[in-house]
Structure 1
Amino acid sequence: MAPTASSLTFKARRGAPMLVAPAAATPHEVKPLSDIDDQQGLRFYRSGIHFYRSDPAKAGQDPTAVVKKALADALVYYYPLAGRLREVEGRKLVVDCTAEGAVFVEADADVTVEDFGDLLSPPIPCIEELLCEPDSNTAVVTDRPLLFIQVTRLRCGGFVFALQICHNMADAAGVMQFVQALGELARGTPGAPTVPPVWARELLLARSPPRVTHAHLEYRCPEQPSAAVVRPDDATLERRAFFFGPRELSALRMPQVRCSRFETVAAFVWRCRAAALGCGGEADEARIQFVVNSRGLRDSPLPRGFYGNAFAFAVAAATVGELRDGGFAFALQKVAAAKAEVTMECIRSVADFNMVSERRPNFGASAARSYMVSDVTRAGFENVDFGWGVNVYGGPATANLATFHLKGRNQSGEEGIIVPMCLPAQAMERFVKEVEIGLGFDNNYY
């Protein structure tokens, strides 16, 4: 009998890491990051992972060789990713385009795609065997490779593609633009990538003089101690995934509040999480902090192909008591109002606040007391094809204190949103009850 995904254990047999340089000559220049890229809180390597089944038509072809060649080709177009970050005056980060290359590792594992389970979502079992580097929310990012890729061949003939990239270089949309280009080149698509990469980081530099026009709660910790602090080193942390499909969304519908599907689910989870963590502390402040991408804003100056960081955090705050007494409509209105506050002027104010006025504060300190969530349902994780067809699962490899809205299915095959959640065990038990009470029925995916 195959092991359950939660009990799966294996050891990957890794080859020696190698540097893959661009396949052709590239410019040797120094390129400053934008003042949205250059945040202390982005100094880590974000990870993504994609699972592929065997394809009989690809018999005899080695996916590691295919991806490695495609990587060399892709780095000709995305040549800053083959360089190294340097820190200059004022802790400013610049990219030294040295063409030293990205790290590539080929590996083998004696497991099948099916061993990982039918309903993959973060955290992926045995993720440490599939990533090149240990996964962490912090890292040294200067004077080291900016991109790590491991391709692991599986016993069934399928494989796993895992990527780690310095977050200062790209956001989720930028990462997926690069990975889609990698897939095109792996499939043998002739010519340059369909979406040519554009640097244009100067469009998001701080203004001179700086003009901070928003409060930017995402960089300020609450003044009062809060019970709603989740620490990554807590040994009692429990991880579950919750599914929101047509039935759940219908139960949460609030016709009197104009809002998106993301806002609806995020507000509901925020309220349930605050109740689970803040029992007995009605005056505790509970925050929700979520990404708003400036590419979708009406007056965005960013051209097609821009792959840098282009987001700001929307923040809504309320006490545990207010969230309880105000009901779901109150939470939803707070979230919708917070999202509406993020305009291009807000994005420019972030650049001024972070990089000039406050010398790059770390939003991570605030995030420890917040429900931090990002909607990646439109990022395109599920459509990456290296020639073996689209992936069985594509998306984040881990979800700890920050979480995501992911495309997925429940046990019945319904499409919907999966929300991974990480909480101390007792809080998780209360959270499950809050979800069930709020929906009026048992959630069918956890």
Structure 2
Amino acid sequence: MSLQWDPWDWQNYPIAQQPTWHSRDELDAVRRELSLRAPLVFPREIDSLKRGLARAAHGKAFVLQAGDCAESFNDHSAATIRAKLRVILQMAVVLTYSSGVSVVKIGRIAGQYAKPRSSETEVHHGVQIPVFRGHIVHDDRPTLEARRPDPQRMLTAYDLSRATVSTVKALTEGGFSDLSRAHSWNQDFVASSPEGERYESIAAEIERALHFMAACGIDLSKEEVLHQITLWTSHEALLLGYEAALTRLDPASQRFYDLSAHQLWIGDRTRDPKGAHVRFASGVANPIGVKVGPSMGISDLLDVCRELDPDREPGRLMLVARMGRGAVRDKLGDLVTAVRDAGHPVVWLCDPMHGNTFLSEAGYKTRDFEDIMDEISGFFEVHRRLGTWPGGIHIELTGQDVTECLGGGEEVLEEELSRAYDTICDPRLNARQSLDLAYRVAELLIR
């Protein structure tokens, strides 16, 4: 990290994907207020996550990063958080039990309120309006007034993120994540599916193993790992004013940490090596992810790696391939080889969602489950061919019984998309599809 870096010097660099704020004075006042607020996470937690990611960088762990495409101001109840956490826990159990590999669990949660977009505007009923950029910027209602960027919403995003962090901690430390309760995580609509029945079988085997250990005299009450899990928080670092206001200098280490989340990522549209987002991320000690799309060249990728990981520190950098099923086998290998040969101990993740989006005949933005799985399979094939470690997956999902993505074990058909299409931005896997994906990824891990 540069000695000249400070949390606000990104303002001297070119920046993309920002809203047009209408009052600089109001924006500055909100940033000052955020800078006085308590951190959402702490440096020692961030360092602990980095150690877990270092194990993944060395092929000793697998990363499951999952959650909403965009969190909503309108649905942040404890029940919604519990349902999302339950699906992530189920997926982690399937991956760990089936493959024997430990899983680092990172949620797209407690801050994923901003979204980059491919267009500045959209047309609704013949009227051109600003495109929706997330609830941290404006409302999703399709009117000119609702889409006016409002800096005060950053304070609301902070408040909701803090409440979400508290809820997640209460659940993960208060018994909800206890491995002996694996049966109770099976929601009714999942339990009645083929995926749910397979999961119940695993839960029963885990229960028998716990009874066996107890019968052997092992005091399971002292085994903290069986009773608590850690779900690390993450979001895209898109609004740098929000991120900089929550960045603090840690007195013990004399390093800056962005205390809005444990892990942050830079999107494929903002990963310019000479841009503001890379500059900001270069100076914080958090683990940083970078989305790597099919247009990214080797030179740019290596420049990004040098900016973000100059010390070649295991656990510091995650590269999230989002190629699309049609490009992953052709384009990923050269990038993986270049990064490996340059000596950067990165964690490679597969984001199989964003490169496989299309419009249904009825106009719904959707993704096909088989396309998603095909990209993940291609990701594994490339790494196996090169002798590198396929470090994890980055998935958009929900704990609700939505119909936003096609296919899966209990196939969602195109004519069913309208039944429960609830996303405010991109289509997500539902609980059944998420569990189906976990089983199929587990099979890839043990091949």
TM over 0.5: no
Q: Point out the structure with the larger strand share.
A: 1
TM-score, normalising length: structure 2: 0.30
TM-score, length-normalised on structure 1? 0.31
